[in-house]
Structure 1
Amino acid sequence: MIQDKTLKDIKKTTHSKETIIELKNVCKSFGDNAVLKGINLAVEKGENLVILGRSGSGKSITIKCLVGLVHADEGEITIFGNDITNLKESDLNNIRVRIGFLFQNGALYDSMTVRQNLEFTLKHHSPNATSNEVNQAILEALESVGLEEAIDKMPSELSGGMRKRIGLARTVIIKPEIILYDEPTTGLDAITSREISELILYVQKKYKTTSIIITHDMACAKLTGNRIMILKDGVICAEGSYAALEKSKDEWVRSFFI
């Protein structure tokens, strides 16, 4: 397990002043339900941004808009300097291949072994990779999450925490520049949740990723976030470090930290 001092050092030294992701006045409604009412945020290269909010506040919709899984009704979404709201699908796909997405349940294929899950993802991303390159990439990804021994297991043989780790291995195997984490510690016990949070920091350092982390887990937010934003009623209502927001004069903001 990574030591606390190392974790603090990682959070202090991994990001630089270069904006990789930017949302300007992004709005999204589903029928009469306005979920996003003008989201504005920017994420610097190498930064871990945590987004908090009550259920239904639009956290997951925000990151789905970032990869075009959901199309924003209004506003600009700029990634790597490109406004994706104006891109053709082929151009959008060129950006998507630079982004990893860790879903809540890990989203592993139940009929495939761990090896096959990772191989499928890598071959889809890099169809010209040789067998040796594929094998090396699989071993490196599994080593990164500490699960080399699970390579030939089926997902049904893995615990919830192990499935999350394999899901993360499958995400990092394509060496993404951005990772979007959707509730990475949901359903896990406190010890396993901390291990996943530490892995998020390890991945940030090793692969120099820029990440947005959607979570209800305040321990995860405190450990992983260089910066935290809080969504309320479809807009960002507060922003800052964990320590600053914990001491906010706004009672609603403080309620997250109780």
Structure 2
Amino acid sequence: MKANKHPVINAHELSIGEPLIEFKNVYKSYGNNKVLNGISFIVKKGENLVILGRSGSGKSVAVKCLVGLSEVDKGEIIISGEDITLLNEEERNRIRMKIGFLFQSGALYDSMTVRQNLAFTLQHNKKNLNEQDIEAAVREVLGNVGLEDAIDKMPSELSGGMRKRIGLARALIIKPEIIIYDEPTGGLDTITAREIIELIRSIKQKYNATSIIITHDLTCAKYTGDRIIILKDGVIRAEGSYKDIENNDDDWVKSFFEK
């Protein structure tokens, strides 16, 4: 394995587990726009990794490459020991079944109730479940996000924060090994954002999932991340704990913390 440009190893990180996800020298361009420029990093089993960066830094493209929505130009992306860049679409779908995705918008089906949204996702990923098993699973995840009473509501009846919670419930219902959070606090007021942050922390404890959190929100990064990497122009500019990043001597990294 190639060493990261900014290796940070501490006792807490070592206690989390073996690498579950690994990017090895990954490049991605769209035409003349170089988005990822040879990034290498790992995510350990049970770890919350925050990918921090401003718009256009490459953080969302990294996730698209991870789930196979974009093909890499060069490099390897390894999940559970398999290089997904070498897999066909059927094999990638098998890997995707292990991943729960919280979209920035929540991305619920507007024509379905909360129950139907969650049941549809479960039935798509887990075959041969009876109605009792589906109902139990739906109620369990809604309880874990604190919204069991919303089971028969339509998405249009939900606030932005509630939609995020239901989106997270939908990600959790397949019992994923990996959860990807795309700007989980984006567009939320301060109080609701704090609630989502606490929920992410709670989910980590309940599910012991491995998570990647894409954000430009420093507060979210501080309270949800075991480790943080900061991308700029498709390269890793800094890596470490929140305290490490906050005390980094790089002027550009310091600019993240300027009010």
Is TM > 0.5 for Structure 1 vs Structure 2? Answer: yes
Q: CA deviation at 1:13?
A: 9.2
Indicate the percent of aligned positions where both proteins have the same amino acid.
Answer: 66
Partner of 2:211: 211
Shift in CA distance, 149/192, structure 1 to aligned 2, threshold 3 Å? same
Partner of 1:221: 221
Please, what TM-score do these two structures have when normalized by structure 1? 0.94
2: CA distance, partners of 1:15 / 1:217 = 27
Q: Pairwise mapping of residues 89-238 of structure 1 onto structure 2 (< 5 A)?
A: 89-238=89-238
- The structure 1 segments of at least 4 consecutive aligned residues displaced by more than 3 Å after TM superposition are 12-15
2: CA distance, partners of 1:207 / 1:39 = 28
Q: Which amino acid aligns with 1:103?
A: F
Once the two structures are superposed, what CA deviation does each residue of 1:7-53 show, in whole Å capped at 9, x if it has no partner?
xxxxx699623000000111110011010011111000000000111
Q: Residues 179 and 211 of structure 1 are in contact (CA less than 8 Å); yes or no, is this contact kept in structure 2?
A: yes
Partner of 2:49: 49
Partner of 1:40: 40
Q: Pairwise mapping of residues 13-32 of structure 1 onto structure 2 (< 5 A)?
A: 16-32=16-32
Work out whether 1:79 is the aligned partner of 2:95: no
Q: Which amino acid aligns with 1:116?
A: Q
RMSD: 1.2
- Three-state SS of the structure 1 residue aligned to 2:16 is coil
2: CA distance, partners of 1:52 / 1:161 = 21
Q: CA deviation at 1:127?
A: 2.0
Number of residue pairs the alignment of both structures matches = 247
2: CA distance, partners of 1:166 / 1:78 = 29
1: CA distance, partners of 2:111 / 2:34 = 38
- Three-state SS of the structure 2 residue aligned to 1:257 is coil
Partner of 1:8: none
2: CA distance, partners of 1:197 / 1:13 = 21
2: CA distance, partners of 1:110 / 1:14 = 43
1: CA distance, partners of 2:112 / 2:96 = 24
Shift in CA distance, 14/190, structure 1 to aligned 2, threshold 3 Å? farther
Please, what TM-score do these two structures have when normalized by structure 2? 0.93
Shift in CA distance, 14/138, structure 1 to aligned 2, threshold 3 Å? farther
Gaps of 5+ in 1: 1-11
Q: Residues 56 and 233 of structure 2 are in contact (CA less than 8 Å); yes or no, is this contact kept in structure 1?
A: no
Q: Which amino acid aligns with 1:202?
A: S
Once the two structures are superposed, what CA deviation does each residue of 1:75-104 show, in whole Å capped at 9, x if it has no partner?
000001100000111111111100111110
2: CA distance, partners of 1:161 / 1:55 = 22
Q: Residues 15 and 45 of structure 1 are in contact (CA less than 8 Å); yes or no, is this contact kept in structure 2?
A: no
2: CA distance, partners of 1:219 / 1:43 = 21
Q: Residues 17 and 46 of structure 2 are in contact (CA less than 8 Å); yes or no, is this contact kept in structure 1?
A: no
2: CA distance, partners of 1:249 / 1:217 = 20
2: CA distance, partners of 1:62 / 1:13 = 22
- Three-state SS of the structure 2 residue aligned to 1:128 is coil
Q: Which amino acid aligns with 2:59?
A: K
- Three-state SS of the structure 1 residue aligned to 2:91 is helix
2: CA distance, partners of 1:188 / 1:167 = 14
Shift in CA distance, 52/164, structure 1 to aligned 2, threshold 3 Å? same
